[in-house]
C-alpha cells in the first residue's frame, strides 16, 4: 500500500512516498512553479497525509494534485495528543508543523527536549519529560534575513548566500553573509544552551549549515512528516 506524505511550508513543499512503512521516493517543490506542473507520484497512492502552514492558494493546488486520491488527511493542531500537552491557550494558533514536530520528537524521545526546526523561519520548542510543552521561540531564517537586506536596501541588491567563516568580512558581501550566519548560529546555540540538560532534536534544511555534524544534537530529517504519520494513523504517544 502506497501513501503520500506532504509538508507544505512557507516557501516550499516537501513530499515523500511510503510503501509498507518504507520511504521509496521523496522530493521538494519550491513555490512559484505552475501547480499544474508539480511532480508528485500520486498514481497508485491510496492515501495522502498533509501538513500545511502555507497559503490558501497552495492548499488549493495540493487538493488539485491529490484529487484522484480518495483518502486525504489534513493535520490540525490540537490541545493535546496522548500525554503531550500544547502550551498555547489558543492551541489552534500553534503552527501544525511545530505541533507535529513535537509529537514526533516526544514519541521518539520521551524526555526533556528542545526541538529546533531551521527552515524559512527558525522555530524552537521546549517540552518536559512529562509531555508538557513549555513554549518556544520563532525567529527569521537566514534566507528571510538576506531577503530583507536585499529588498530594503537598494545599494545592497544582489544574490547572497551563507558564509560560515566567522572572521570579520572585508567586503559588503562577506559582511552580510557572515553576519547573517553568525546571528543564526548564535541564536540556535543560545536557545540550546538554555536547556543544556535536555536532548536537542533538530530538523530542517538549514540545520547542517549551522551545526554541521555536531554530536551534541540529534538530527531527524523528516520530523514533521514523521509526526504527521503518527497523527494520521492515530499511533499512541504515552
User: Cα separation of 22 and 2, whole Å?
Assistant: 9
The helix (H) or strand (E) run that includes residue 172 is: helix 172-193
Range of the domain at 135: 80-142+173-227
Q: Are residues 138 and 25 part of one domain? A: no
Same structural domain for residues 52 and 93?
no
Q: What is residue 160's predicted lDDT score, i.e. its pLDDT?
A: 61
Question: Which residue, of 39, 74, 109, is where some domain finishes?
Answer: 74
The whole-angstrom distance between residue 120's C-alpha and the CA centroid of its chain comes to: 8
Binding residues: 7-14, 88, 95-98, 117, 120, 172
Strand runs (DSSP E) across 82-167, as ranges? 84-85, 113-118, 121-127, 133-140
Question: Tell me: the pLDDT tens digits for 122-145?
Answer: 999 999 999 999 999 999 988 888
Task: Output the CA–CA distances (angstroms, integers) from residue 94 to 77, 80, 161, 193, in the order listed.
Answer: 7, 12, 30, 24
pLDDT of residue 192: 84
Binding site per annotation, positions for substrate? 88, 95-98, 172
In a domain, 162, yes or no: no
What is the CATH number for 181? 3.30.420.40
Number of domain units in the chain: 2
Q: Which of 146, 156, 220, 221 is nearest to 183 (CA)?
A: 146
User: Helix (H, G, I), strand (E, B), or coil: what is residue 197?
Assistant: coil
Q: What integer pLDDT is reported at residue 205 of this predicted model? A: 81
Where does the pLDDT of residue 154 fall: very low under 50, low under 70, confident under 90, or very high at 90 and above?
Answer: low
CB 188 within 8 A of CB 211: yes
Report the C-alpha gap between 143 and 120 in whole angstroms.
7
pTM of the model: 0.90
Q: Which helix (H) or strand (E) holds 48?
A: strand 45-52
Q: Rounded distance, CA 61 to CA 83, Å? A: 35
pLDDT for 42-97, tens place per residue?
A: 999 999 999 999 999 999 999 999 999 999 999 999 999 999 999 999 999 999 99
> What is the spatial distance between Cα 175 and Cα 156, in angstroms, rounded to a whole number?
11
Domain co-membership, 126 together with 85: yes
* Residue 105 in domain: yes
For 87, the grid coordinates are 502550551
Which residues are part of the catalytic machinery? Answer: 97
Q: Give 180-226 pLDDT, tens digit per residue.
A: 888 888 898 898 888 878 999 999 888 877 777 777 889 999 999 99
Amino acid at each position: 500500500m502506497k501513501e503520500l506524505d506532504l509538508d507544505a511550508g512557507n516557501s516550499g513543499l516537501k513530499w515523500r512516498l511510503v510503501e509498507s512503512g518504507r520511504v521509496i521516493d521523496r522530493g521538494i517543490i519550491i513555490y512559484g512553479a505552475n501547480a499544474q506542473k508539480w511532480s508528485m507520484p500520486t498514481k497508485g497512492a491510496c492515501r495522502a497525509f498533509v501538513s500545511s502552514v502555507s497559503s490558501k492558494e497552495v492548499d488549493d493546488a495540493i487538493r488539485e494534485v491529490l484529487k484522484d486520491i480518495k483518502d486525504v488527511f489534513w493535520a490540525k493542531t490540537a490541545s493535546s495528543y496522548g500525554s503531550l500537552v500544547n502550551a498555547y491557550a489558543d492551541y489552534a494558533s500553534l503552527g501544525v508543523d511545530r505541533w507535529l514536530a513535537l509529537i514526533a520528537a516526544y514519541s521518539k524521545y520521551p524526555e526533556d527536549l528542545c526541538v529546533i526546526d531551521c527552515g524559512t523561519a527558525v522555530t524552537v520548542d521546549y517540552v518536559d519529560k512529562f509531555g508538557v510543552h513549555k513554549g518556544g521561540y520563532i525567529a527569521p531564517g537566514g534566507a528571510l534575513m538576506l531577503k530583507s537586506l536585499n529588498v530594503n536596501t537598494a545599494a545592497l541588491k544582489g544574490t547572497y548566500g551563507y558564509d560560515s567563516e566567522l572572521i570579520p568580512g572585508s567586503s559588503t558581501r562577506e559582511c552580510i553573509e557572515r553576519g547573517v550566519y553568525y546571528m543564526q548560529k548564535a541564536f540556535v546555540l543560545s536557545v540550546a544552551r538554555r536547556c543544556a540538560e535536555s536532548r536537542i532534536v533538530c530538523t530542517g534544511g538549514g540545520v547542517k549549515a549551522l551545526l554541521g555534524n555536531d554530536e551534541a544534537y540529534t538530527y531527524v530529517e523528516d520530523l514533521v512528516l514523521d509526526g504527521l504519520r503518527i497523527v494520521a494513523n492515530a499511533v499512541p504517544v504515552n
